[in-house]
Structure 1
Amino acid sequence: MPGQRLSVVVTRRLPEPVETRLRELFDVELAENDAPMSREALVDAMRRADVLVPTITDRIDQAMLAAAGDKLKLIANYGAGFDHIEVQTARQRGILVSNTPGVVTEDTADMGMALLLAVTRRIPEGLAHMQSGDWAGWAPTALMGGRIGGRRLGILGMGRIGQALARRARAFGMQIHYHNRRRLHAAIEEELEATYWESLDQMVSRMDVISVNCPHTPSTFHLMNARRLKLMKPDAVIVNTSRGEVIDENALTRMLRAGEIAGAGLDVFEHGAEVNPRLRELKNVVLLPHMGSATVEGRIEMGEKVIINIKTFADGHRPPDLVVPSML
């Protein structure tokens, strides 16, 4: 659409520099508050916009896309994940979908390492003691955790974030193992000193820490199901900074409560903000509110990618971060 000022609807509040630049470039409708749009409001937004800028909190299904009309031409998602959008249906209706990959790789890997340390060293328990005023002083056997140096880390999904986590874990002296849809190039394996497992079951049963770093797709839903979780060693822990749907949350909760898994560090949850209340009660679990990409720098860079995708589309070209069928 060269030469035409596109109408853009943004569903949530974004960092101020991003909102300002969007207003400079497009006929943009910014969110007045930071509450998620209702289903009806989303459909209405799609009917009046050339471009919709949603986030992970905006579920866009087949029925909504069918009701959107013919004006919408691009869904420029603010975020790397796109499993909340029915991409196939969108493409069938002539609506392109773009995302923001690669921007928060380092931030998410930092959070994965932070959760790993928090769980194994029982940091939240120590923090709770200090905040409650119960701490009576140092004791030789108090709040003993585990040393991570020398432990085996099994990374499920060795893409950008998995590899970034591996580099951090190597610096802490951990042994790197991974399972991936495709084996990495030998040079990358050598750099990371990483051991590949074709069988996820075999890897899971031997690791001290499992880190989930794969996207949510139909093939990865409950990839860590009850059967596979039972393969984990009783003293192992699991960390998830990717997508909650990859782990069977109810099964994980049962096993943590029973002491069949030593601990978990979770930044994402199977049902979004509806976290299993039994999970909240456990001392061997660290829960965070989806903070993996929550850095000022990362969130602004995400917005810059959204703008580039829209601007490229407005100039009549293919958005650089177009979601294509091979990615689904």
Structure 2
Amino acid sequence: MAKIYVTRKLPEEVESRLSEHFDVRSWEYEDEPVPRETLLEEIKDVDGVFCMITEQMDEEVLEAGEKLQVVANMAVGHNNIDVEAATARGITVTNTPDVLTETTADLAFALLMASARRLPETSDILRKGEWGAWSPLQFTGQDVFGATLGIIGLGRIGEAVVQRTHGFKMNVLYHSRTRKPEKESALGIHYEEQDTLLQKSDFVMLLLPYSSESHHLIGQRELALMKKRAILINASRGGIVDEDALYHALANNEIWGAGLDVYEQEPLPADHPLLTLSNVTALPHIGSATVKTRLAMAHLAVDNLIAVLDGKEAVTAVNH
């Protein structure tokens, strides 16, 4: 029976399914990542690893896995894995796309609305007993209905977000590495070069994968192009935004606000400068966090492990 290592405690139904097929060892904590030294030791004699985005599956770790055949990542993104090093060693890397598309699109649009109408900020004011007399401009936010949304990265999640804009009669612009004319007519969206999109949009939403090319894609120059009343929404990966530049732009009212679900360092330290700003809506990376979706992601990771260790093609391979 093939041996696998699981880097986090999983729901009982997923653990039971794994135990039917494999000799399973696992880290027994749900909310605490496996220490690196433990991972390096546990990986030595296993055939597969079921991991999370919190594990850095770099060359050192992959090299330690002398029998390793598959790394099943419970996420769409895989920048925590050195895919090139895995491929060189004949290790299959898999991810969990598609099953979280609609859930993540829900969260991205909810983050847009919460940021526009200052929901976390004003809820805190109410709870602290600081709600004073009504005044004409008290707690005013930005309109979503009829606004212009610029999406950078029109993948599956981006397309799902566009569907959610129709009820709000939003004007949607997009920019992606490859223009998609067939999507423009089908979805009623317009392609723009990135700089033009930044200049025209009331909301700029980032929905692209992280890579060396997209590192700090949004920095001081790009933020300066945005409208002073614009809101930046990042529901993709933290490294895409230069957080120092973003803090400066927000603190100096160069843009109106930001809604963030992802960060360069996760978990985000409680003393991070961005958390001192009232015009930042900050969430703890909950894009796919519904019970149904997280279970679907886990089961897809199991499907990949079963397929590869049974000598078949992975269901959702990152490399080949």
Shorter-chain TM-score: which interval?
over 0.9
Asked whether 1:14 is paired with 2:10, we answer yes
CA contact (8 A) 1:176 1:192 kept: no
Q: Secondary structure at the match of 1:178?
A: strand
Measure how far apart 1:219 and its partner are.
0.9
CA contact (8 A) 2:173 2:189 kept: yes
Match of 2:220 among 218, 226, 229: 226
Residue-by-residue CA offset, 1:70-92 (whole Å, 9 max, x unaligned): 21111011111100110100111
Matched with 1:207 is 201
Asked whether 1:84 is paired with 2:80, we answer yes
Match of 1:314 among 303, 306, 309: 309
Match of 1:130 among 118, 126, 132: 126
Match of 2:295 among 297, 300, 303: 300
Match of 2:39 among 35, 39, 42: 42
Q: Give me the whole-angstrom Cα distance separating, in 2, the residues matched to 1:16 and 1:236.
A: 44
Matched with 1:256 is 250
Q: How do 1:111-260 and structure 2 match up within 5 A?
A: 111-136=107-132, 138-186=134-182, 188-197=183-192, 199-260=193-254
Q: Give me the whole-angstrom Cα distance separating, in 2, the residues matched to 1:123 and 1:264.
A: 13
Match of 2:58 among 46, 56, 61: 61
How many residue pairs match? The answer is: 318
Measure how far apart 1:69 and its partner are.
4.0
Q: Give me the whole-angstrom Cα distance separating, in 2, the residues matched to 1:28 and 1:324.
A: 24
CA contact (8 A) 2:62 2:68 kept: no
Match of 1:265 among 259, 263, 285: 259
What percentage of residue pairs aligned between the two structures are identical? 40
Which letter does structure 2 place at the counterpart of 1:42?
Answer: L
Q: Provide the TM-score with structure 2 as the length reference.
A: 0.96
Q: Give me the whole-angstrom Cα distance separating, in 2, the residues matched to 1:86 and 1:150.
A: 43
Structure 1 residues without counterparts, runs of 5 or longer: none
Which letter does structure 1 place at the counterpart of 2:217?
Answer: L
Measure how far apart 1:138 and its partner are.
4.1
Which letter does structure 2 place at the counterpart of 1:71?
Answer: K
Q: Give me the whole-angstrom Cα distance separating, in 2, the residues matched to 1:136 and 1:263.
A: 23
CA contact (8 A) 1:170 1:176 kept: no
Which letter does structure 2 place at the counterpart of 1:178?
Answer: Y
Q: Give me the whole-angstrom Cα distance separating, in 2, the residues matched to 1:175 and 1:45.
A: 51
Which letter does structure 2 place at the counterpart of 1:231?
Answer: L
Which letter does structure 2 place at the counterpart of 1:300?
Answer: L
Q: CA RMSD in A?
A: 1.4
Q: Secondary structure at the match of 1:268?
A: coil
Q: Provide the TM-score with structure 1 as the length reference.
A: 0.93
